Amino acid sequence: MKTYFLPLTALAAVTILAAALSGCSPARGSETKDGLITVPASEHGNPSSAPVQPVDYRHSIHAGQYKIPCLYCHSYADKSPVANVPAVSTCMNCHRIIAGSTPYNQQEIAKVVDYWTKGQPIPWVSIHRLPDHAYFSHKRHVKAGMQCQTCHGPIQNMDHVYQYSSLKMGWCVTCHKANLHNAQFATSIDCYTCHK
């Protein structure tokens, strides 16, 4: 059985988050509903910190309303250190056909088609970035059955993505400490684990 021992500092928020999570999970998420968060709500990022993006792409519509799996677009998250933001070609799998049901959606989807026609990547503004001296790998965490939402929050409810967890060393180490003796997925807090 895959069980995590996560710090229980935010039990109240857990119930709310678990309800929010039931709508969407990565492919492996249904195996282990860790559904827990590691920091109190007061430390969560602010929705107003979301940057303005070149296209008004909304996770709440794609990952929320239409339940497109996270790994459909972030297809390296279970295979490599980096999750990756999808290329325009991934968008065009649907938007060759789907032009939008409202004038606003049509206008924003037309921008996507325009980048595609010109052969240009969409210049998305990057949100999460660790300093170069810190090493993180998506594969290790996602393969262990961890939900994206544990670290990124309820993305499927966000119109625009913002940084939900602090990504500070203390945040990483708190969860690693709680899983030091995890029978299946033991962690380490040696400096070289995260500083190569």
Residues 79-118 that bind ligand HEC (CB under 6 A): 82-86, 90-91, 93-95, 98, 100-102, 105, 108-109, 112
How far apart are the C-alpha atoms of 175 and 19, rounded to whole Å? Answer: 22
| Binder among 53, 75, 113, 157 for ligand HEC (CB under 6 A) | 53
Establish if 21 lies at the interface with ligand HEC (CB under 6 A): no
CB of 87 to ligand HEC, least distance (A): 8
# residues near ligand HEC by CB under 6 A: 80
The reply on whether position 39 binds ligand HEC by CB under 6 A is no
Cα separation, 147 vs 153, whole angstroms: 9
**Piece of the chain touching ligand HEC by CB under 6 A; list 14-22, 40-48, 126-134:** 126-134
Nearest-approach distance from CB 149 to ligand HEC, in angstroms: 6
If phi over 0 gives left and psi between -120 and 50 gives alpha, with beta otherwise, what is residue 96? alpha
Distance separating alpha carbons of residues 151 and 165, to the nearest angstrom: 6
56 near ligand HEC, rule: CB under 6 A: yes
In 3D space, the residue among 68, 59, 3 whose CA is nearest the CA of residue 36 turns out to be 3
- Residue 131 contacts ligand HEC per CB under 6 A: yes
Q: Three-class SS of residue 184?
A: coil
Which of the residues 165 through 194 are near ligand HEC (CB under 6 A)? 167-169, 171-173, 175-176, 179, 185, 187-189, 191, 193-194
List the one residue from 142, 145, 181, 183 that touches ligand HEC (CB under 6 A): 142
Nearest distance from C-beta of residue 183 to ligand HEC, angstroms: 11
Q: Give the DSSP H/E element, type plus range, for residue 93.
A: helix 88-95
Residue with tokens 């069980």: 3
Tell whether residue 17 is a contact of ligand HEC (CB under 6 A).
Answer: no
CA distances from 84 to 53, 80, 105, 155, 186 (A): 16, 9, 24, 15, 26
State the Cα–Cα distance between residues 75 and 67, nearest whole angstrom. 15
Q: List the one residue from 31, 126, 181, 183 that touches ligand HEC (CB under 6 A).
A: 126
* C-alpha–C-alpha distance, residues 31 and 181, integer Å: 21
